[in-house]
Structure 1
Amino acid sequence: MEPQPPAERVLRRLGQLLPERPGVLTELGALLEAAEPRWLLGPGSPAALGELAAALSAFAALPEREQDAAELRDGDGAYEAAAERAAGVGRVFVRLLAKLEAAEAEEALRSAVEPALRRVAGHADTWKRNPATKHVFSWALLHVTRPWLCQHLERVLPPSLLISDDFQEENKVLGVRCLHHIVLNVPGADLCQFNRAQVVYHALYNHLYSREAPLIQAVLLCLLDLLPILERAQRQQQQQPRPSSPCDEVLQLVLTHMEPEHRLALRRVYAKTLPAFVQRLGILIARHLKRLERVILGYLEVSDGPEEEARLGILETLQCTIEHAWPRMPCRVPVLLKALLKMIWDVHTDQGSTPEPVRAALLQRATECLILLDRCSEGRVKILLEGVYSCCEENRVRECIRKVQENT
């Protein structure tokens, strides 16, 4: 009985024959189905499996040149043939992964499985040739969590950055969500090694210049989880704290964009995430009070529709700001008091489609802000409201003022 040829030689040869003889794909599937795990995981097999995976990916991908892609769209059944090739390649990968999974159950082969899996992993730097790859990559990535994601960081971070840097908005959002998953599931020390966290930060920061609400929302949520990691690393690297932190840089740019913004979708996104940045900075929010005050006054003045998401977010922002930077609030009482009273009056007299629970929430948050302003100004707000209460005839407005006056 002749000895079996080494798996390395067989796998390389089959990969080389794929472009010339598409029927080899069926033979390869049958071979993997019948192969023993011990034979498949020989000494040189991981490298050969990597070459085979590359050959299979190239065989399943759409043509690279535009004219070839046009022929696929216009030819008789050519596009269906490309889909059949991709399906056949998918079946081969499933059989190969099943065989590697079976090999992992054998103690003698367990150490050889991981190097093989690393080589077989999909080639996501080629995702533009097959757009479906991005969905496969993101699905697989989002299903790997702590502590297992860390060992794959070098393979998943570059494709995530590449997808987030695409010109299409949907790809940018998908890439940012992949980056967010990495930030949440990789230890900060590993993320900061080789300046990876800084690379992710700069990629996200550049997206803040976008005007698309879904992308801005994804970026801000990711930054809120990345900033603590960056700040911890900075504290460990230097004795004296920096005059400004990455959180300061992000908030400064966000406030710059918020002030003239007129698109309601973006105003809602900015306003909903702003309280988290105020909480993150704490007393250091005092560095941004001038610009933050202008943003708060502008957003309180304009209604943003039935749900009033922007106004509710800004009222929460004002409440957090007063709580953290209360020593700087007394000098701002006249301006903020006027804006809050005007908003209360507008909400009460508005004949629009705002639901009653939303009106109640707006009035409640505005009243809480007035109470906080009164406390930090040692009762000054109560004194200023005395004349308003005596001349106001609207019961709902009087009720808000009464709550402030009776609060001790």
Structure 2
Amino acid sequence: MERAQDSSRGAEPARDSAPELQRSVAQLLQRLSRPEARPGIVGNGALADLGALLEATECDALFGAGSEPPRAVSELLGQLAKALEKWAAPPGEEASAARGLADVAERAAAVGELMLQLLGRVEAAPARAAGLRPLAAPVYVFAATHRLQQPWSSPRSRCVAEEVLSALLRVAKCGSVAGFLCGESDDETGRFAAVMGLLRPHLSKESWKNNPAVRHVFSWTLQQVTRPWLSQHLERVLPPSLLISDDYQTENKVLGVQCLHHIVINVPAADLLQYNRAQVLYHALLNHLYMPEHHLIQAVLLCLLDLFPVLEKAVHWKGGGACVTTHCHEVLQLILTHMEPEHRLLLRRTYARNLPAFVKKLEILTVRHLKRLERVIIGYLEVYDGPEDEARLKILETLKLVVQYTWPRISCRLVVLLKALLKLICDVARDMSLTPDSTKNALLQEATDCLILLDHCSQGQVKSLLARIVLSCEDSMVVSCVRKVQAASAGAPCSGT
């Protein structure tokens, strides 16, 4: 190693020191690749020697004095960057459970300092673009692995990783990570394909759990690539997303579904429909709705709502316009089936939060689900949902939409819905819990709006039924709500509700 440093210090022309430099880098690469180098003294010594070598070597020796660096040295430095990234990566699940992740952050900080040093050399070289080419993907993967708060990171390693990412963008002359991955202009090729080429071997069914960081790096990288660039990489990103979403751990399921959702909203419908991809996505997502995990249900429902238009286009193109909302009907039926007996508050809130979007989607076709919707609405209005009362507020929003879209079918359900709303108003008026006044006021206002809509679509029947309450009720909140209903215009047309 001393001989390599001496030859570097005495670098007269770059071509004289290049062979010696290649030998030195090759030796360091071999040392880092040994099994005993991670995480031991051998690896730490190799890092120290590499730092000394970079410090002592002129830029011309590394990257040449012309517009293109020596190919052999360039490829060797690319292999070295890959070895450094791999050396700093967290171990697999079994290894991490046995050994812990305490030493990973320390290794990452040391590797980050070396990468900053290497990027500084690239920035000062005449052949900056060519010198960066073999280094860009492994340096990016390293930075993406260690920049976020994870069990294998520390404040120092995260700070160094952020510095590495900033330096990489500066050397690449990119204003953002998206520009780095996709290209800053239409005629510029981004580095997403190179990054995925580095990640792809670790995203197979057999290997993706050997490195706990790879799924997070893939997910974060995918989120940076949007329309119109993502469609050309669909074959690279769809299989890993489906693989991660199909894991037994809820955390990975949610991460995979979020990746699928990003694909759905950033890839044209024609590409998703090709090779029946959209149907594959639909059935993969539908299976997750049987899992009682509220985070997963939330992610799946949001993704499905954006997938429905894609599936509808397929039906429309086939000439089946009458069945265009079949998938939405199927999902809503399943949701209502799960909602009715559900007693866990987090799941109730999740279902109720997304129910208005399905009613808006189906509009008048919601009548197909009216019987079950009625039972769900009445059941959910009876149950207190905590200080924020999110579930009941969302159910009231759903009821307003149902009345607006299906008003001709509401008159036969008028008495049942009226009783449920009046009971809610009385419960809120008598509520002495820690529920904030803002939440109580919102509940009362939403319930009053529902009563007004019911009155409009029943030609004033609600006013007649509420007339006696003003005379007999002593609660000012209840009377105030009733008076608002009475004051509402009785001449509003039914079609305007």
State the TM-score bracket (shorter-chain normalisation).
0.7 to 0.9
The 8 Å contact of residues 247 and 277 in structure 1, kept in 2 or not, is answered as: yes
The 8 Å contact of residues 90 and 213 in structure 2, kept in 1 or not, is answered as: no
Mapping of 1:5-404 within 5 angstroms?
Answer: 19-20=33-34, 34=63, 38=68, 66=94, 72-73=99-100, 95=132, 96-97=135-136, 101=172, 119-120=197-198, 123-125=201-203, 126-242=207-323, 245-404=326-485
Cα 1:111–1:78, aligned 2, differ >3 Å: closer, same or farther? closer
- CA root-mean-square deviation: 4.1
Cα 1:254–1:12, aligned 2, differ >3 Å: closer, same or farther? farther
Cα 1:354–1:116, aligned 2, differ >3 Å: closer, same or farther? closer
Cα 1:264–1:89, aligned 2, differ >3 Å: closer, same or farther? farther
When structure 1 is superposed on structure 2, of 134-143 and 114-123 the one drifting more is: 114-123
SS, match of residue 209 in structure 2:
helix
Q: Deviations over 1:263-313 (max 9, x none)?
A: 111111111110011000010100000111000000011111111101100
Between the aligned partners of 1:392 and 1:260, the Cα distance in structure 2 is 34
Q: CA deviation at 1:343?
A: 0.6
When structure 1 is superposed on structure 2, of 339-348 and 187-196 the one drifting more is: 187-196
Between the aligned partners of 1:385 and 1:121, the Cα distance in structure 2 is 66
TM-score by length of 2: 0.67
The 8 Å contact of residues 374 and 380 in structure 1, kept in 2 or not, is answered as: yes
Between the aligned partners of 1:133 and 1:124, the Cα distance in structure 2 is 7
Specify the code of the residue in structure 2 equivalent to 1:250. V
When structure 1 is superposed on structure 2, of 371-380 and 167-176 the one drifting more is: 167-176
Cα 1:153–1:279, aligned 2, differ >3 Å: closer, same or farther? same
Q: Deviations over 1:316-342 (max 9, x none)?
A: 000000000111100000100011011
Between the aligned partners of 2:93 and 2:388, the Cα distance in structure 1 is 49
Q: CA deviation at 1:164?
A: 1.6
Q: CA deviation at 1:347?
A: 0.5
The 8 Å contact of residues 53 and 122 in structure 1, kept in 2 or not, is answered as: no
Q: CA deviation at 1:123?
A: 3.8
Q: Deviations over 1:136-168 (max 9, x none)?
A: 222211122222222222212222222222222
Specify the code of the residue in structure 2 equivalent to 1:328. R
Between the aligned partners of 2:359 and 2:304, the Cα distance in structure 1 is 14
Q: Counterpart of 1:8? A: none
SS, match of residue 386 in structure 2:
coil
Between the aligned partners of 2:278 and 2:70, the Cα distance in structure 1 is 38
Between the aligned partners of 1:260 and 1:91, the Cα distance in structure 2 is 57
The 8 Å contact of residues 315 and 324 in structure 2, kept in 1 or not, is answered as: no
Q: Deviations over 1:48-80 (max 9, x none)?
A: 9999998887766666694x6666459xx9868
The 8 Å contact of residues 89 and 213 in structure 2, kept in 1 or not, is answered as: no
For structure 2, the 5+ residue unaligned runs are: 1-14, 20-24, 38-42, 120-131, 137-167, 174-179, 490-497
Q: CA deviation at 1:113?
A: 7.5
When structure 1 is superposed on structure 2, of 233-242 and 250-259 the one drifting more is: 233-242
Between the aligned partners of 1:65 and 1:178, the Cα distance in structure 2 is 22
The 8 Å contact of residues 193 and 233 in structure 2, kept in 1 or not, is answered as: no
Between the aligned partners of 2:337 and 2:225, the Cα distance in structure 1 is 37
SS, match of residue 286 in structure 1:
helix
Q: CA deviation at 1:252?
A: 0.7
State how many pairs are aligned.
Answer: 393
Specify the code of the residue in structure 2 equivalent to 1:236. W
The 8 Å contact of residues 349 and 390 in structure 2, kept in 1 or not, is answered as: yes
For structure 1, the 5+ residue unaligned runs are: 6-10
Q: CA deviation at 1:34?
A: 2.0
Between the aligned partners of 1:85 and 1:381, the Cα distance in structure 2 is 73
When structure 1 is superposed on structure 2, of 12-21 and 289-298 the one drifting more is: 12-21
Between the aligned partners of 1:146 and 1:176, the Cα distance in structure 2 is 19
The 8 Å contact of residues 312 and 324 in structure 2, kept in 1 or not, is answered as: no
The percentage of aligned residue pairs carrying the same residue is 53
Between the aligned partners of 2:118 and 2:288, the Cα distance in structure 1 is 36
Q: Deviations over 1:73-94 (max 9, x none)?
A: 59xx986897689869977997
The 8 Å contact of residues 212 and 266 in structure 1, kept in 2 or not, is answered as: yes
The 8 Å contact of residues 373 and 381 in structure 1, kept in 2 or not, is answered as: yes
Between the aligned partners of 1:332 and 1:262, the Cα distance in structure 2 is 25
The 8 Å contact of residues 367 and 403 in structure 1, kept in 2 or not, is answered as: yes
Q: Tell me: higher relative CO, structure 1 or 2? Use CA pairs within 8 A at least 6 residues apart.
A: 1
Specify the code of the residue in structure 1 equivalent to 2:351. Y
SS, match of residue 398 in structure 2:
helix
